[in-house]
Amino acid sequence: MATHPAARGLDDDCAVIAIGGETLVLTHDMMVEGVHFVPGQDAADIAWKLVATNMSDLAAKGAVPVGVLLGYMLGRDDARFLVGLGEALDHYGAPLLGGDTVSGPAGAQALGLTAIGRATHRPVPARSGAQAGDRVWITGPVGAAMLGLEALRAGAGNSLAYRRPRALLAQGQALAPMVNAMMDVSDGLLLDAARIARASGVTLAIDSAAIPIATPESRRAEALRWGDDYQLLFTAPAALAPPVPAHAIGHVLAATGSPLLLDGMPLSEADGLGYQHRAERD
Amino acid sequence: MATHPAARGLDDDCAVIAIGGETLVLTHDMMVEGVHFVPGQDAADIAWKLVATNMSDLAAKGAVPVGVLLGYMLGRDDARFLVGLGEALDHYGAPLLGGDTVSGPAGAQALGLTAIGRATHRPVPARSGAQAGDRVWITGPVGAAMLGLEALRAGAGNSLAYRRPRALLAQGQALAPMVNAMMDVSDGLLLDAARIARASGVTLAIDSAAIPIATPESRRAEALRWGDDYQLLFTAPAALAPPVPAHAIGHVLAATGSPLLLDGMPLSEADGLGYQHRAERD
For residue range A38-87, list pLDDT tens digits in order. Answer: 878 899 999 999 999 999 999 999 999 999 999 999 988 999 999 999 99
Cα–Cα distance for residue pair B243/B281, rounded to 1 Å: 36
Task: Tell me whether residues B107 and A103 touch, CB distance under 8 A.
Answer: no
Rounded average pLDDT over B130-157: 96
Q: What single DSSP character describes residue A3?
A: P
Which candidate in A22, A100, A103, A187 is best for mutational testing of the B interface (most B CBs within 10 A)?
A100
Task: Tell me whether residues B102 and A69 touch, CB distance under 8 A.
Answer: no
B159-185 pLDDT, tens digit each: 999 999 999 999 999 999 999 999 999
Give the pLDDT confidence score for residue A106 in this predicted structure: 66
Task: Tell me whether residues A98 and B66 touch, CB distance under 8 A.
Answer: no
CA A143, A145, A147, A153 torsion-angle sign: negative
Closest CA to A236 of A268, A280, A200, A270: A200
Which candidate in B1, B14, B28, B58 is best for mutational testing of the A interface (most A CBs within 10 A)?
B28
User: How many CB atoms are located within 10 Å of the residue A192 CB?
Assistant: 22
- Nearest Cα of chain B lies from the Cα of A282 at a distance, in angstroms, of 15
Residue A35: pLDDT band (50, 70, 90) is confident
Task: Tell me whether residues A73 and B2 touch, CB distance under 8 A.
Answer: no
Cβ neighbours for B140, distance < 8 A, ≥ 6 positions apart: B212, B229, B231, B245, B246, B247
C-beta separation of B144 from B212 below 8 A: no
User: Which whole-number Å values give the CA distances from A132 to A139, A167, A181, B131, in the listed order?
Assistant: 21, 28, 12, 64
C-beta separation of B25 from B63 below 8 A: yes
Rounded average pLDDT over A142-152: 95
**Residue B26 confidence (pLDDT) above 70:** yes
Rounded average pLDDT over A140-144: 97
**Residue A221 confidence (pLDDT) above 90:** yes
Task: Tell me whether residues B26 and A69 touch, CB distance under 8 A.
Answer: yes
Rounded average pLDDT over A129-138: 98
Q: Taking CB atoms and an 8 Å cutoff, what residues of chain B touch A120?
A: none
Rounded average pLDDT over B127-131: 96
Task: Tell me whether residues A98 and B36 touch, CB distance under 8 A.
Answer: no
User: Does pTM top 0.80 for this prediction?
Assistant: yes
Give the pLDDT confidence score for residue A270 in this predicted structure: 62
Rg of chain B taking only CA atoms, in angstroms: 18
Give the pLDDT confidence score for residue B3 in this predicted structure: 34
**Residue A2 confidence (pLDDT) above 80:** no
Q: Which amino acid makes up residue B163?
A: R
B237-251 pLDDT, tens digit each: 999 999 999 999 999
Beta bridge partners of B270: none
The helices-and-strands tally (H runs, E runs) of chain A is: 7, 12
Cα–Cα distance for residue pair B206/B190, rounded to 1 Å: 9
Give the pLDDT confidence score for residue B148 in this predicted structure: 95
**Residue B225 confidence (pLDDT) above 80:** yes
Closest CA to B179 of B218, B124, B119, B132: B124
Question: Beta strands B96-102 and B63-73: pairing type?
Answer: parallel
Counted across chains A and B, CB pairs separated by less than 8 A come out at 216
C-beta separation of B163 from B268 below 8 A: no
Cα–Cα distance for residue pair A241/B75, rounded to 1 Å: 47
Closest CA to B173 of B24, B64, B66, B89: B64
Give the pLDDT confidence score for residue B121 in this predicted structure: 96
User: In degrees to the nearest 10, what's the CA dihedral of B74, B80, B84, B89?
Assistant: 60
**Residue A8 confidence (pLDDT) above 70:** no
Helix (H) or strand (E) holding A112: strand A110-119
Helix (H) or strand (E) holding B1: none
Cα–Cα distance for residue pair A211/A217, rounded to 1 Å: 11
**Residue A3 confidence (pLDDT) above 60:** no
Give the pLDDT confidence score for residue B272 in this predicted structure: 72
Give the pLDDT confidence score for residue A51 in this predicted structure: 97
User: Which whole-number Å values give the CA distances from A152 to A147, B30, B235, B236, in the listed order?
Assistant: 9, 30, 55, 57
Question: Beta strands B202-206 and B110-119: pairing type?
Answer: unpaired
Q: Taking CB atoms and an 8 Å cutoff, what residues of chain B touch A33?
A: 105
Of A65-79, A265-279, B126-140, the least confident: A265-279
Of residues B193 and A278, the one with the higher pLDDT is B193
Cβ neighbours for B9, distance < 8 A, ≥ 6 positions apart: none
Chain B residue closest to A5 (CA)? B101
- Nearest Cα of chain B lies from the Cα of A245 at a distance, in angstroms, of 30
User: How many CB atoms are located within 10 Å of the residue B24 CB?
Assistant: 26
User: Which whole-number Å values give the CA distances from B245 to A210, B48, B137, B240, B248, in the listed order?
Assistant: 69, 24, 10, 13, 10
**Residue B112 confidence (pLDDT) above 90:** yes
- Nearest Cα of chain A lies from the Cα of B267 at a distance, in angstroms, of 25
Residue A278: pLDDT band (50, 70, 90) is very low
Q: Which amino acid makes up residue B32?
A: V
Task: Tell me whether residues A22 and B20 touch, CB distance under 8 A.
Answer: yes
C-beta separation of A167 from A231 below 8 A: no
Say what percent of chain B tops pLDDT 70. 91
Say what percent of chain A tops pLDDT 90. 78
**Residue A9 confidence (pLDDT) above 60:** no
Task: Tell me whether residues A28 and B118 touch, CB distance under 8 A.
Answer: no
Domains and CATH numbers, chain A: 5-119 (3.30.1330.10), 127-280 (3.90.650.10)
Of A104-113, A194-203, B75-84, the least confident: A104-113
C-beta separation of B107 from B76 below 8 A: no
A242-260 pLDDT, tens digit each: 999 999 999 999 999 899 9
Of A29-33, A270-274, B190-194, the least confident: A270-274
Of A10-19, A22-31, A107-116, B56-65, the least confident: A10-19
- Nearest Cα of chain A lies from the Cα of B281 at a distance, in angstroms, of 13
Beta bridge partners of B32: B110
Q: What is the mean pLDDT of chain B?
A: 90
Residue A160: pLDDT band (50, 70, 90) is very high
Question: Beta strands B247-254 and B202-206: pairing type?
Answer: antiparallel
Cα–Cα distance for residue pair B245/B114, rounded to 1 Å: 29
Q: Which amino acid makes up residue B50?
A: L
Chain A residue closest to B27 (CA)? A99
Rounded average pLDDT over B197-207: 97
Q: Which amino acid makes up residue B234?
A: F
**Residue B8 confidence (pLDDT) above 50:** no
Residue A282: pLDDT band (50, 70, 90) is very low
Give the pLDDT confidence score for residue A275 in this predicted structure: 57
Task: Tell me whether residues B36 and A102 touch, CB distance under 8 A.
Answer: yes
Task: Tell me whether residues A114 and B86 touch, CB distance under 8 A.
Answer: no
Q: What is the mean pLDDT of chain A?
A: 90
Residue B21: pLDDT band (50, 70, 90) is confident
Residue B276: pLDDT band (50, 70, 90) is very low
Rounded average pLDDT over A213-225: 96
Give the pLDDT confidence score for residue A12 in this predicted structure: 63
Chain A residue closest to B107 (CA)? A107
Give the pLDDT confidence score for residue A123 in this predicted structure: 94
Cβ neighbours for B234, distance < 8 A, ≥ 6 positions apart: B125, B136, B137, B138, B175, B179, B180, B181, B182, B183, B246
**Residue A10 confidence (pLDDT) above 50:** no
